[in-house]
Amino acid sequence: MTTLTFGKAINEGLRRALADEDRVVLMGEDIGTLGGVFRVTDGLKDEFGAKRVVDTPLSEAGIVGTAVGLAYRGYRPVVEIQFDGFVYPAFDQLVAQVAKLHYRSRGTVKMPLVIRIPFGGGIGAAEHHSESPEAYFAHTAGLRVVACSNPQDAYVMIRQAIASDDPVVFFEPKRRYHQKSEVDLDASLADQPPLGVATVVVPGTDVTLVTYGGLVQTARDAAVAAAEEGVSIEVIDLRSLAPVDYSTIEASVRRTGRLVVAHEAGEQLGLGAELAASLTERCFEYLEAAPVRVTGHDIPYPPAKLERYHLPDLDRILDGVDRALGRPNSLSGDSLSGVEA
């Protein structure tokens, strides 16, 4: 085992993919000489050369369009979108073209293309630099959409995404780039959970808490805090946003009878809405309470000084757990601070 930051784990995953397969090509703004604005590709241009780690012009549509051509020719391009909010100029390429090529060609054309997108807030940046656009892509049939939450998954999942013949939108929670943990660099992909599988990261019995990306660590912290009050939270890291691994979530909800979904993106028509509706359909007779969503607010991303009021934190997630359990909470008007113990 080697201790790596989240960002370095992705770097090692990219390095391994470049070394294992000559058709892997990295493309993006400032990813070569600079090593990317978050230094995720640091050193890869020096090791593999400028023809495989390509600094591109500032044109997201052009970058993705070029990557589509490379994928047509048998390459496995990996595109970095510098910040989440910069992906919109490439939205037409991804949704109207990339997602449909395999189906349009009746399976003749494969599209082994990875779009890496640092996403979410928590770094004190403004709009276009802290956004959560995952629902746009999860809604689009023909795209795989994943979000990793820890260094080990980052190392494995980026390699799995590159090995996939499907286009993969790969979300990286930028606030976790400096989080460290042990990574097994010798891990065989054959021994790892498949790309589309959710994982139970904290077992529990009272309520199921589903989240992904940067909020997984916050959910872990919430489980520890709740345990001090005798509440057992089962935390599920969704990992794959499209397709969703409903079997893992269903099994948990049928045991706990309660569901909380947390994400940084806004509530309206977000992943939480889809999960709440689908799990209600699948587990209605097992539910003891209505599913609860804990999300960002339905506003454009706020200025940096206000993001702590926008992003779900430990207190808001625990309040959602209280709502699911029917305990005093912020909506019931009798929060814990206002009632007798």
Candidates 89, 114, 97, 107; CA nearest to 23 is: 114
Give the C-alpha distances (Å, rounded to integers) separating 309 from 76, 303, 316: 40, 11, 10
Instruction: Decide: residue 251, CB within 10 A, 0-12 exposed, 13-18 middle, 19+ buried.
Output: middle
Measured between alpha carbons, how far is 341 from 331 in angstroms, rounded to an integer?
18
- Alpha-helical (H) ranges within 140-245 are 151-163, 215-227
In 10 A of CB 290, how many CB atoms? 11
End-to-end CA distance of the chain: 46
Q: Which residue from 211, 207, 202, 210 is spatially nearest to 176, judged by alpha carbons?
A: 211
Distances (CA, A) of 141 to 64, 136, 168, 172, 241: 18, 11, 12, 21, 12
d(CA 324, CA 326): 6
Question: Which residues are tagged catalytic?
Answer: 129
